[in-house]
Amino acid sequence: MSEFRQKCISRTNLVGPFAAIPHPVAVEVMASSGLDFLCIDWEHAQISRETIEAMVRAADVHRVPAMVRVPGHAPEAIQAALDSGAQGVLVPRVSTAEQAAMAVKASRYPPLGERGVGPGRAAGYGYRIPEYLAAANERIVVAVQVETAEGLANIEAIAAVD
C-alpha cells in the first residue's frame, strides 16, 4: 500500500489543492510548496490527456502524489487518468453505492476489477507490467464526491464501498 493511500485510509489531515492551470510548470510550483498531494481538475478545466500525463510527471518529480478529478463516471476516463501515472482518481457526482462500486471496479485490475492493462506510463511503458500489476490494486486511491441530496441519503452505503 502506498504511503499516500495509507494516509487517506487513516483519515490523516492532508493538504491538496486543485490544479486547473494546464501546464506542468504550474504543478511544479505548487508541488514545491510542501503539499501532501494535488488534484488535477479534468472535470472543469480544459486539459488534454497528454497534458494530464505531463502534469502527473511534474508532480512525480517533486514526489507529490497526483490525483485526477475525472469528468464523470466513465471507466475510460478513470483508466486514462490512472494510466497517466496518477496515484488516484476523484470521481464527481456519485449518488449511489452502485456508482461508487463502478468507479472502484474501473480502477482495479482483475480479479478485483475490470481495468484493462496497457503499456503506458504507469506500467513503465511495458517494462514493469508484472510489478505494476502486483502493486496497483493496493496503491491506487479512489475518492468520490457526493454532491446531491440522493447522495447524502445514500452516504453510509457509499462509504461502505471498498
User: Which pLDDT tens digit goes with each residue over 2-21?
Assistant: 899 999 989 889 999 999 99
Would you place residue 24 in the very low, low, confident or very high pLDDT band (cuts 50, 70, 90)? very high
Structural domain of 153: 3-159
Number of H helices, E strands in the chain: 8, 5
| pTM: predicted TM-score of the whole model, two decimal places | 0.93
- Strand, helix or coil for residue 102: helix
Is pLDDT above 90 for 96? Answer: yes
The Cβ of residue 121 has, within 10 Å, a number of other Cβ atoms equal to 15
pLDDT value at residue 36: 96
79 vs 118, higher pLDDT = 79
Domains held by the chain: number: 1
Q: Active-site residues: which are they? A: 44
pLDDT value at residue 15: 93
Burial of residue 55 (CB within 10 Å: 0-12, 13-18, 19+) is: buried
Percentage of the chain surpassing pLDDT 70?
100
Q: Quote the cell numbers at residue 150.
A: 440522493
Q: What is the CATH number of the domain that holds 81?
A: 3.20.20.60
- Strand, helix or coil for residue 53: helix
Question: 75-83 and 97-107 helices cross at what angle (nearest 10)?
Answer: 40
| Residue 69: strand pairing partners | 41, 90
C-beta of residue 27 within 8 angstroms of C-beta of residue 58:
yes
Q: Kindly report, residue by residue over 101-150, the tens digit of the pLDDT.
A: 999 999 999 999 999 988 788 888 888 888 888 889 999 999 999 999 99
Which amino acid is present at 13?
N
The Cβ of residue 56 has, within 10 Å, a number of other Cβ atoms equal to 27
Would you place residue 69 in the very low, low, confident or very high pLDDT band (cuts 50, 70, 90)? very high
Would you place residue 1 in the very low, low, confident or very high pLDDT band (cuts 50, 70, 90)? confident
